[in-house]
Structure 1
Amino acid sequence: MKRLAIIATHPVQYNVPWFRRLANETGIELCVFYTWHADDQVKYDPDFQRNIAWDIPLLEGYNCRLVAPQPTVSRKTFWNLNNDISGPIEAWGPDGILVMGWNYLSHLRAMRHFSGKIPIFFRGDSTLLDHHSGCRSTLRRMLLTQVYKYVDTAFFVGKNNYDYFRKFGVGPEQLCFAPHAVDNRKFSSDGNRYEEIATDWRSSLGIGKKNIVFLFAGKLIPKKSPDLLLAAFKTFSRVRAAELVFVGQGSWEEKLRSQAHGMSNVHFLPFQNQSKMPIVYRLGDVVCLPSAGPGETWGLAINEAMACGRSVIVSDKAGCARDLVADQQTGYVHKADSQTSLLEAMQKCQNRDELVSRGKACSQFIDTWSCDAIAKQIKNRFLSAA
């Protein structure tokens, strides 16, 4: 039995499912070392502008330990996650470590400490989509090239992430594909019941059965460009009976409500917790992620929407676009910050039969982008190196 230590800041709803899958793989003993906090208590999210406690268990089904600084810190930065985590990890006796992000001092110290002693694996989802040239870019390249010298294997999540690792000196032989994924079963396993609940919810909102529904689910903040979606929808809805549903909260909520004043076909729903999301995505016929960034490294909401059998529209600044939407079988990619480009994509979504067919294609396609695939790739690479 080989021991793999994972270093992460805190329990994340997207990571925990594949942690559990990996913990159940034969030949591996897993322990996740959390460097910030290891609880599922209420936390304030500044983007949602509200306290959040996820309504799904995040600490069950795998072994984890807390190695956070004392006293605890309310918000993590590179400098304040500065405690020495190498000692507790070394005492556990790992045969390899998987680091989830280098951009905290404690994580970087651990990479440096274990370099050359045991295999170091790395997983992140950074891209070059927001890359700018100049002195800062040159310095960043020098820094990251040095950081990734500590890494034996990097698990890339998609094409944009692969390009990022290559730019900063990680060789192709060091790269292994472990897809960005969500717990597809959670979104698809009770699909018929979810569809019925979503249909009733749409009726309660006064949404006509023949109307095309565009859905935005997430933080109502500038980088997500919800205002671009609203502007494009205003034009679209002049020629086609349609509805737009915003699900979420954030700093731009009041601005959006003001811009949508008097529009009965624009609906605002508050933040919905994880257990409701399989129903939320089914409120829409098309799920939209019009983000302009910076920092939209992937967009796991698109994985979730596709697992719910929904077609998607995604901006070219979302990291997932090249992998999940590029061939137009599952949806459309629009140019970020372009209302015209977004409107053109929306205009291709007027035939309900086509949307249903594309939604089925989404479900089939995203099935291979799974937590099982992540776990198997990490297991195979780890056992071959340890």
Structure 2
Amino acid sequence: MNKIAIITTHPIQYYAPWFRSLAQEKDFLIKVFYLWDFGITQQVDQGFKQSIQWDIPLLSGYNYEFVPNQSLNPGTHHFWGFQNPSLVSVVESFQPHSVLLMCYNYASIYNFIWRWDTRKVPLIFRGDSHRILPRTGIKEWMRRQFISLVYSQFSAVLYVGKANYNYYTYHGVSPKNLFFSPHAVDNNRFFSQSQEAMKQAKLWKQELKIPEDHAVILFAGKFESKKRPLDLLQAFIQSNLPKVSLLFVGSGSLENELRLQAKNHSSIYFAPFQNQSQMPRTYAIADLVVLPSYGAWETWGLVINEAMCLSRAVIASNHVGCAQDLIHSNQNGLVFPAGNISALANCLQKAFLDFEKLKRWGEESRNIITNYSYIQATQGLRSAINHLKI
């Protein structure tokens, strides 16, 4: 029996189903230690700029504990958002054989790493950072040395994709200590709801007053600068596609600007933030899903996973962490240079040259995403644990 303590910031809709899956493994005994209760209580999301509470179960099917957080301003948006002085003692009381950390760049986690006796109980790390955008200069050199020191504390590291693998080797992690544990969503939830989602999407399309004979390009997420929804809006206008509508689903700081720029264009629509139970329908309304993010912040882009589960063609910028792994050019979608609006417009035009091809792209998305599931994620964790025993 592998007794594993898992430390993560708060209940996350992508991780909770994986923890349930891990709890069902006969050779695993897990306990998840949460540093904050966001997601299960009504709280303001900094990106969506509104109060939210996820409407799918995030705490059922596995053992967990909330570690008291003394931060006056709790959250993932700053270093001091997690101050959990009892973290070491509560994890020690579980008496784990190994500890899996899902993050590190917070006060509590640094305190845990430096205080934990890794000779007795090894640490495993799983993250999704990348260095798709190279950095130079003395500050980058110093940052690289420090991050390399942090990773030297881990006996095994799980990487979620190609860009993430390169990030770890850049910071000195030996390939022999790296194990593939892909980023995944609850594929089975999306697969099982796909037919019903299609029926709901037809009705929703009518409610939104999108013409029935129009194809739909979807942006779903936070309306914030790093996601670059304005790039997509401008590219859509530039592409001048007949019988194609653009749908923005979500909320955020750029909403007023998006609506202002869209007001003279009849084929651009908006829908409010959709909770987790409505996400299958959200993707089902689309023929193409676009993630045009710019910068180093889109470490993976799980919206692409979800869209692919609903057999949707996808387009993403080359700054999106998953682009190298999930988007096979001209097979299930396209990748464009981040920030290049003309290139994105060309991709939109190319995608809608042939609707049958677009449908085939969606079918291929479904095939590709089957290899990015909790099954593969668990295999990676098991390989890492077996490596620790050697």
Same topology, TM > 0.5:
yes
Deviation of the 1:101 alpha carbon: 1.1
1-structure distance, mates of 2:218, 2:285: 7
In 2, are the aligned partners of 1:36 and 1:73 still within 8 Å (CA)? Answer: no
Question: Which of 163, 178, 181 is matched with 1:178 structurally?
Answer: 181
Deviation of the 1:11 alpha carbon: 0.6
**Structure 1 stretch displaced more, 220-229 or 29-38:** 29-38
Deviation of the 1:135 alpha carbon: 1.8
Q: What's the counterpart of residue 81 of structure 1?
A: 82
1:147 aligns with 2:177: no
Q: What's the counterpart of residue 334 of structure 1?
A: 336
**Structure 1 stretch displaced more, 165-174 or 210-219:** 210-219
Question: Which of 339, 363, 366 is matched with 1:360 structurally?
Answer: 363
Question: How many pairs align?
Answer: 385
Q: What's the counterpart of residue 298 of structure 1?
A: 300
Q: What's the counterpart of residue 54 of structure 1?
A: 54
1:33 aligns with 2:33: yes
Gaps of 5+ in 1: none
**Structure 1 stretch displaced more, 256-265 or 173-182:** 256-265
In 1, are the aligned partners of 2:179 and 2:383 still within 8 Å (CA)? Answer: no
Deviation of the 1:199 alpha carbon: 1.5
Question: Which of 201, 208, 213 is matched with 1:210 structurally?
Answer: 213
1:164 aligns with 2:164: no
Q: Secondary structure at the match of 2:54?
A: coil
Deviation of the 1:80 alpha carbon: 4.9
In 2, are the aligned partners of 1:286 and 1:310 still within 8 Å (CA)? Answer: yes
In 2, are the aligned partners of 1:22 and 1:379 still within 8 Å (CA)? Answer: no
Deviation of the 1:368 alpha carbon: 1.2
Q: Secondary structure at the match of 1:235?
A: helix
Question: Which of 339, 342, 345 is matched with 1:343 structurally?
Answer: 345
Cα distance, 1:48–1:99 mapped onto 2, change above 3 Å: same
Q: What is the TM-score of this pair, normalised by structure 1?
A: 0.96
Question: Which of 210, 218, 222 is matched with 1:219 structurally?
Answer: 222
Which residues in structure 2 correspond to 1:259-274 (within 5 Å)? 259-274=261-276
In 1, are the aligned partners of 2:214 and 2:243 still within 8 Å (CA)? Answer: yes
Deviation of the 1:126 alpha carbon: 0.4
One-letter code of the match for 2:13? Q
2-structure distance, mates of 1:227, 1:86: 44
How much identity, in percent, do the aligned residues show?
39
2-structure distance, mates of 1:125, 1:64: 23
Deviation of the 1:344 alpha carbon: 1.2
Deviation of the 1:36 alpha carbon: 2.6
One-letter code of the match for 2:118? S
**Structure 1 stretch displaced more, 143-152 or 73-82:** 73-82
2-structure distance, mates of 1:66, 1:221: 30
Deviation of the 1:39 alpha carbon: 6.5
Q: What's the counterpart of residue 102 of structure 2?
A: 100
Stretches of 4+ aligned residues off by more than 4 angstroms = none
1:42 aligns with 2:45: no
2-structure distance, mates of 1:38, 1:227: 29
Q: What's the counterpart of residue 9 of structure 1?
A: 9
**Structure 1 stretch displaced more, 368-377 or 147-156:** 368-377
Q: What's the counterpart of residue 243 of structure 1?
A: 245
Residues 105-163 of structure 1: CA deviation (Å, up to 9, x unaligned): 22223223132222211000000023321121011011011101101111000000000
Deviation of the 1:383 alpha carbon: 4.3
Residues 316-357 of structure 1: CA deviation (Å, up to 9, x unaligned): 010010001143311000111101110111011112211111
In 2, are the aligned partners of 1:220 and 1:226 still within 8 Å (CA)? Answer: yes
What RMSD, in angstroms, separates the aligned Cα atoms of the two structures?
A: 1.6
2-structure distance, mates of 1:179, 1:286: 23
Residues 6-31 of structure 1: CA deviation (Å, up to 9, x unaligned): 01111111111111111111111100
In 1, are the aligned partners of 2:130 and 2:296 still within 8 Å (CA)? Answer: no
2-structure distance, mates of 1:182, 1:71: 30
1:115 aligns with 2:118: yes
2-structure distance, mates of 1:39, 1:204: 28
1-structure distance, mates of 2:224, 2:265: 21
Deviation of the 1:54 alpha carbon: 0.3
In 1, are the aligned partners of 2:71 and 2:82 still within 8 Å (CA)? Answer: no
In 2, are the aligned partners of 1:125 and 1:157 still within 8 Å (CA)? Answer: yes
Q: Secondary structure at the match of 1:197?
A: helix
One-letter code of the match for 1:358? W
Gaps of 5+ in 2: none
In 2, are the aligned partners of 1:39 and 1:59 still within 8 Å (CA)? Answer: no
Q: Secondary structure at the match of 2:33?
A: strand
2-structure distance, mates of 1:276, 1:352: 26
1:135 aligns with 2:135: no
Question: Which of 238, 241, 260 is matched with 1:258 structurally?
Answer: 260
Which residues in structure 2 correspond to 1:311-330 (within 5 Å)? 311-330=313-332
Residues 190-223 of structure 1: CA deviation (Å, up to 9, x unaligned): 2222111111221333333432211000001111
In 2, are the aligned partners of 1:68 and 1:81 still within 8 Å (CA)? Answer: no
Q: What's the counterpart of residue 187 of structure 1?
A: 190
1-structure distance, mates of 2:315, 2:2: 43
In 1, are the aligned partners of 2:232 and 2:344 still within 8 Å (CA)? Answer: yes
One-letter code of the match for 2:166? D
One-letter code of the match for 2:113? M
In 1, are the aligned partners of 2:291 and 2:317 still within 8 Å (CA)? Answer: yes
